[in-house]
Amino acid sequence: YQQPAPTQMGYGDGDPFMTLDDQPPAADPYAVADPYAVPVDPVFTPTPDPEPVSMVPAPVPAVDEETMRLYRAVAPLLDEFVAEVRRSVDYFRSRGGDVDVIELAGGGCKIPGLPEFLTQMVGVPCDAYDPLRRLTVNERKVTPDFLKDHRQEFAVAVGNGLHIFFD
């Protein structure tokens, strides 16, 4: 790469770089403005953008190979999820609201340590929502283990069933 020869830029004696002692020429109030003239700051040297760094430290997983493989697959999604929850909380607060607790619903809240991790990252207490907590369920039609293992997955079904009370 060869540096181009200096050209007259209106400052100094043809040197494209000004020193701090150089003064730009005074503006002529009667001159016609050039809409394509862009002031050039010869001292400014653009620096490349730094590599993006995740602002959310991911939890440290166990060290066995299967867990590490799963962790590497889920870590970017977890970072994105935390960032989205944080944006939602910030938006709600910007509208004058306050967030006392975040209730996690659905099968994803069965991920071990997710409520604690989200509490730490967002700064708002998080809990796994139990949609069946105030409902009486006939356990003769399903096994107790099924209800215990899948209760968070009933959030949408319970919500759809309860809408008749509020319409």
Average pLDDT value for residue range 40-67: 64
Q: Same structural domain for residues 120 and 75?
A: yes
User: CATH number for the domain including 80?
Assistant: 3.30.420.40
Q: Same structural domain for residues 140 and 101?
A: no
Under 8 Å between Cβ of 10 and 24: yes
- The set of long-range contacts for 114-120, using a CB threshold of 8 Å and a minimum separation of 24, is 117/59, 117/78, 117/82, 118/82, 118/85
Q: Same structural domain for residues 120 and 143?
A: no
Q: Is residue 141 part of a domain?
A: yes
The pLDDT, as a whole number, for residue 9 is 47
The pLDDT, as a whole number, for residue 100 is 92
Number of domains, the chain = 2
Q: Please, what is the end-to-end C-alpha distance for the chain in angstroms? A: 72
Q: Is the pLDDT of residue 158 over 90?
A: no
Q: Is residue 29 part of a domain?
A: no
Confidence (pTM):
0.50
Determine the structural domain holding residue 70 and report its residue range.
66-128
Between 111 and 19, the more confident residue is 111
Which residue bears the tokens 């190979």? 65
The pLDDT, as a whole number, for residue 149 is 75
Element (H, E) at 67: helix 65-94
Q: Is residue 108 part of a domain?
A: yes
Q: Same structural domain for residues 159 and 144?
A: yes
Q: Same structural domain for residues 134 and 119?
A: no
Q: Same structural domain for residues 116 and 136?
A: no
* pLDDT tens string 137-156: 777 777 778 777 777 777 77
Over the range 94-104, which residues count as b (16 or more CB within 10 Å of their CB) and which as e? eeeeeeeebeb
* pLDDT tens string 70-105: 778 888 888 899 999 999 999 999 988 889 999 888
Q: Same structural domain for residues 143 and 112?
A: no
Give one DSSP letter per residue of 133-148, joined into a string: TT----TTSS-HHHHH
Between 158 and 4, the more confident residue is 158
Q: Is residue 123 part of a domain?
A: yes
Q: Is residue 136 part of a domain?
A: yes
Q: Same structural domain for residues 103 and 156?
A: no
Q: Same structural domain for residues 71 and 96?
A: yes
Mean confidence (pLDDT) of the chain? 73
Give dist(CA 140, CA 129) in Å, integer. 24
Q: Is the pLDDT of residue 163 over 80?
A: no
Q: Is residue 38 part of a domain?
A: no
